[in-house]
Amino acid sequence: MKYLILSLILSITNNLLYAKDTIEKNYTIDSALSNINITTIKKSYIVENANISNVTGSFKDKVFSVSFGFQNIDTGVSIRNERLNEVYFMSKLYPSVEIKGMFSEPLIAPSISTMTIQTNISFYNQSKTIDIPVIISHNLEYTTVSTVNPVIIKAEDFNIPSINLEKLSELVGNIAISDQVPVTFNLVFKREK
């Protein structure tokens, strides 16, 4: 009985130290393993996926920040990448999207959980608060944060002028292009040594 109690005390102490060590460390996004995906919809039924790479960011305790630029968008067609950057997103004037927020509870390793994170997204000189349901897998070395479902982002959320979409449509034969896009992400944070 004495050994059982001693073993239990050691186990609890070890878990508390493990959790404290995890919470107090800085984590930085591993850009090679992280991505953001958007899906454009044209003619009401044609779906085109795009991947955004070179995502950067970090978190410590419950606070996180993420940054990316649309100049890193890859639709699989270089002219489409250029048009999205120059005509729609105007990436030279608005080079980055900044996302800041806080996890609703501390991340204690090892764990897998779901939660809704409140984010403040800044782009195009506008900010919007969006709640995003995510799945989080957390251990001593890595934390992965992924969307549960696509998040629908509207051009009007950031006051992107409708003329930008009209110009883009003209360049591709006046086809209808949705001003709403589903967005998903998979962000991998690595613990700093």
Residue 70 corresponds to which amino acid? F
- As given in the structure block, the two tokens for residue 158 are 């950031």
Q: Which residue has the tokens 């979409």?
A: 165
Q: Which residue has the tokens 């996302």?
A: 99
3-state SS assignment for residue 166: helix
pLDDT tens-place string over residues 134-181: 999 998 899 999 999 999 999 999 999 999 999 999 998 999 999 999
Q: Tell me the mean pLDDT in the region 102-125.
A: 88
Please report the pLDDT score of residue 10 as a whole number: 41
Cis peptide before 110 (omega within 30 of 0): yes
Could you count the other beta carbons within 10 Å of the beta carbon of residue 166?
13
pTM for this prediction = 0.83
pLDDT for 88 beyond 60:
yes
Query: Is 185 exposed, middle or buried (CB count within 10 Å of its CB: 0-12, 13-18, 19+)?
Result: buried
Please report the pLDDT score of residue 111 as a whole number: 87
Q: Tell me the mean pLDDT in the region 17-39.
A: 78
How much of the chain, in percent, has pLDDT values that exceed 70?
88
pLDDT for 183 beyond 80:
yes
Please report the pLDDT score of residue 61 as a whole number: 83
Please report the pLDDT score of residue 108 as a whole number: 76
Q: Tell me the mean pLDDT in the region 23-42.
A: 90
Taking the domains of the chain in order of start, what are their residue ranges? 2-191
Instruction: State the CATH class of domain 2-191.
Output: mainly beta
Please report the pLDDT score of residue 2 as a whole number: 58
